[in-house]
Structure 1
Amino acid sequence: MAKKISCVIVFFSIYMTVISKSVNVDKLWRSNCPNNTMFANSSQYEANLNTLFGYLSGNATNLAGFYEAVSNNGNTSSETIYGNFLCQGDLDPRLCYDCVIAATTKDFPMTRCPNRKVAILWYEGCMVRYSNQSFFGKLDEMPADQMLSGDDVQGNITHYTELVNNMMSVIANRAPFDGSQKKFATYITNFTAFGTLYGLGQCTPDLSPNDCKSCLENGASKLSTLVQGARYFQPSCFVRYELYPFFSLSSQPPAPSRESPASDSSGMEAKE
C-alpha cells in the first residue's frame, strides 16, 4: 500500500511540474494604457515609475501573490505613482516572479505602454497595474476586456449557459471569503455532454468582501457562453472558465461529506 501511495505522489508531482512548465505565465493577453495621460522621457514621473517597478519586482516572490507600492522618491508633491501586481492564486512564487518581471522590465516601459502615466496589463499568470491616482481598496470594473478560447459550443446552449452561470455563482460567493485571504476560488463541474468545466475567479485582496463579490458577479455576467472557454478582465478582479484544467487541482476545496454526488438528469455533477 505504501509503495502504491508513493507512486501516486510521484506521478502527481510530475504531472503538476509538466502543467506548470507548459503554462506561459508571462504571455500577455490584454493591455489598456490610455494616451491621454503621458509623461516625458527623463522626467520625474519616469524616475518614480522605475522605482515602482523595483518595488513590485522585489516583492514578486511573496507568498500572498499580491503587492501594493507607492513611489515618489521622497517627494510627496512630485508625480506620485501607485502600483500593484496580482498573481493567480495558485501560482508558484517563482512563476509569479517571472510574470511580474516580464511586465516591469519588458512590456510596460518599452513596448506596450510607452510614456503612459496609467496602465494595466493582464497576463496568463498575473496582472500588473499603475496610475498617478490611488486605486488601492477601490472597486474598479473599467476598463475591462474579454478573451474567448476554443470552438463554438455544440448542443444545448441553454443548459451549457446555466452550467457556467451556476459555476460562476459559486465562485462569486466563495472567493470573497477565501480562507487564505487571497480572495480566490476555483470550481469544477462535470457534464457528460461537454466534458469537464473548470472555473476560476479572483479579486485583489484589498477589496471588501462585498466589492469582491460584486466585481466577480459583474465579470460573470459579461462572460460569453457560446464558446468552450472565456475570460473577462477587470482591474479589480477576473473570471475564467475552460474545458481543460488551467489551475492547480489542489486549489479545490475538500468535498463535503455526502453519500452520493448531486447530479441532474443531463449528467451534470458538481465537485466542490
Structure 2
Amino acid sequence: MDCRQHLNKREYLSLPSGVICIGFFNASEGREPDDVYGLFFCRGDLSTDFCQNCVANATKDIVQRRCPTQMAALIWYDECFLRYSNKIMFSTMERDPNYTLWNTQNVAVHADFNRILVDTIGTAVYQAANMPAGAKKFAATKANYTMQDMLYVLVQCTPDLSSSDCHQCLLSAYSGLQVCCNEKRGGRILYPSCIVNFEMYLNYNETYVEEAAALAPSPVPQGKSFIFFFVKA
C-alpha cells in the first residue's frame, strides 16, 4: 500500500470537529517499509469551517492531482499546510524544503522601516513561541509605519514543536526574509515547521486576533490565496 492509499485511508476529509477546531492534526499508519506519516495545520485565525475546507481541498490537490505516486510531498496554501512522508517528521523542527515570496515594490520611506519590522516581528515571535502546550502557536500584530501605512505581521509554528524549537524556527525564517526582502513592502517565508509573513496590507483576521487578545489572561479578509508545493521522489 503506497502513501496515497494510506493518506486516503486516514480520511482527512472527514476528521472529527475537535481536531479541526485546533487547526492541527498528525497521524501515522502502516508498518515498515510501507508506513506513512501525515500532518496538516491551518492558519491560527481561521474558522473551523474554513480550516476544514482548506484541508479537504489540499488533500485532494496533493493526492489526486499534483503528487499521485510520490512517497513524500508537501503543499502550502495561504490558509493551510499539508504534508505526508514515509519518514517520521512529528515534533521536529525542519526548515527544508522552503519557499520565499516577496513584494517587488520597496517601501517609500525606509529610515525606520527595518527597526519597526524587527520590533514587530520580535513581539509576534515571542507570543507564538510562548503559547501554552496544546495551544495554537500563532500570533499576529500590527504597527504604525507612516501616517498612511500600517505594517502587519503574522507568524506561526506547528503546535507539536517545543517552545524553543518554535522560537528557533521563526528566527531562522525571519533571517531568511532579511536576505530577500530588505525594505520590501511585503515578504513571507514558508518552512515545513513555521511561517513568517509581513505585509503593508491586512494579512490576517483582525477580528479573531483582537477577540483572542481580549480573552487572554495577560497581554503579552485577506490577500489572494496562493499555493506552493514540493515533491520528494
What's the TM-score bracket when you normalise by the shorter of the two chains? 0.7 to 0.9
Alignment of 1:21-170 (within 5 A): 43-52=1-10, 54=11, 56-59=12-15, 61=17, 62-72=20-30, 76-105=31-60, 107-149=61-103, 151-156=105-110, 158-170=111-123
Q: Is the 8 A contact 1:160 1:225 kept in 2?
A: no
Higher radius of gyration, 1 or 2:
1
Larger CA deviation: 243-252 vs 121-130:
243-252
Residue 133 of structure 1 aligns to a residue whose secondary structure is coil
Q: Structure 1 regions of 5+ residues with no counterpart?
A: 1-42, 258-272
Matched residue, 2:201: 244
Normalised TM-score (structure 2) = 0.82
Q: Which amino acid aligns with 1:121?
A: I
Query: Which consecutive segments of 4 or more residues in structure 1 shift more than 3 A?
Result: 43-46, 254-257
Q: Which amino acid aligns with 2:142?
A: I
Q: Could you list the per-position Cα deviations for residues 155-200 of structure 1 after superposition, in whole angstroms to 9, with x for gaps in the alignment? A: 22x5212211211111111101225711111111012266111101
Residue 184 of structure 1 aligns to a residue whose secondary structure is strand
Pick closer, same or farther for the CA change 1:44–1:222 going to 2, 3 Å. closer
Larger CA deviation: 57-66 vs 138-147:
57-66
1:120 Cα deviation after fit:
0.9
Counterpart CA distance in 2 for 1:85 and 1:96 is: 10
Q: Which amino acid aligns with 2:165?
A: D
Residue 154 of structure 1 aligns to a residue whose secondary structure is coil
How many residue pairs get matched? 208
Q: Structure 2 regions of 5+ residues with no counterpart?
A: 220-233
1:49 Cα deviation after fit:
2.8
Matched residue, 2:145: 191
Q: Which amino acid aligns with 2:195?
A: F
Pick closer, same or farther for the CA change 1:184–1:60 going to 2, 3 Å. farther
Matched residue, 2:186: 229
Q: Which amino acid aligns with 2:32?
A: S
Identity of aligned residues (%): 31
1:236 Cα deviation after fit:
0.4
Counterpart CA distance in 2 for 1:111 and 1:226 is: 37
Matched residue, 2:226: none
Q: Which amino acid aligns with 1:86?
A: F
1:89 Cα deviation after fit:
0.4
2:170 pairs, out of 197, 216, 229, with 216
Counterpart CA distance in 1 for 2:65 and 2:4 is: 15
Pick closer, same or farther for the CA change 1:247–1:46 going to 2, 3 Å. closer
Counterpart CA distance in 2 for 1:137 and 1:146 is: 23
Q: Is the 8 A contact 1:90 1:247 kept in 2?
A: yes
Q: Is the 8 A contact 1:204 1:237 kept in 2?
A: yes
1:78 Cα deviation after fit:
4.4
